[in-house]
Structure 1
Amino acid sequence: MTVAMLRRRFDLTREAAGVQKSEFQMRDLRAKAGTDKAESIGDILQARDQLGHTTVVMTEQYIRHRLGKKVTPTK
């Protein structure tokens, strides 16, 4: 799959879901992956490596600090 193919499928899926481009972009998935890695392992260095950053400072800017209690999914 090429980058263009992935981009087109992502755009079509977002459009089908009725989500505006300004509300959700491909890079949001990258930030979520970094956030999930940092939270699940408890080590920002692992998230830094996964995202390919050279500094923890950049990773800290990238990951999201979510508030609230985590719950398990319904299904």
Structure 2
Amino acid sequence: MTPSMLRKWFDNAPKFAGIPKADFQMRVRTKAATDKEESTRNIRAARDQLGHTTVGMTEKYIRMRKGMKVMPTK
């Protein structure tokens, strides 16, 4: 996939979802913060990665996953 193909996909996504472009957001920071906290067991590492000044703000980004984690089938 080329950069222009990816850009076109993001530009068209709100239209296909039926929402205004201004309301469309990709939430990859949440995943990054969650992964960092899970891998290091240190919320301060996630805070530093996101550039937050408080752990409280980082806690809003981190998803506390419940249940057992499983590997994908493929």
- What TM-score does the superposition give when structure 1 sets the normalisation length? 0.66
Number of aligned residue pairs: 67
Q: How far apart, CA to CA, are the structure 2 residues paired with 1:21 and 1:67?
A: 30
Partner of 2:55: 56
Q: How far apart, CA to CA, are the structure 1 residues paired with 2:67 and 2:18?
A: 26
Residue 26 (structure 2) pairs with residue 39 (structure 1): no
Q: How far apart, CA to CA, are the structure 1 residues paired with 2:58 and 2:18?
A: 26
1:66: how far off? 1.1
Gaps of 5+ in 2: none
After superposition, residues 1-75 of structure 1 pair within 5 angstroms as: 6=7, 8-12=8-12, 14=13, 25-26=25-26, 28-75=27-74
Give the partner amino acid of 2:25.
Q
Gaps of 5+ in 1: none
Give the partner amino acid of 1:49.
D
Determine what percentage of the aligned residue pairs are the same residue.
56
Q: How far apart, CA to CA, are the structure 2 residues paired with 1:20 and 1:57?
A: 33
Distance 1:41 1:21, change over 3 A: farther
- What TM-score does the superposition give when structure 2 sets the normalisation length? 0.67
Instruction: Look at both structures and tell me which one has the larger radius of gyration over its CA atoms.
Output: 2
Alpha carbon RMSD of aligned pairs, Å? 2.9
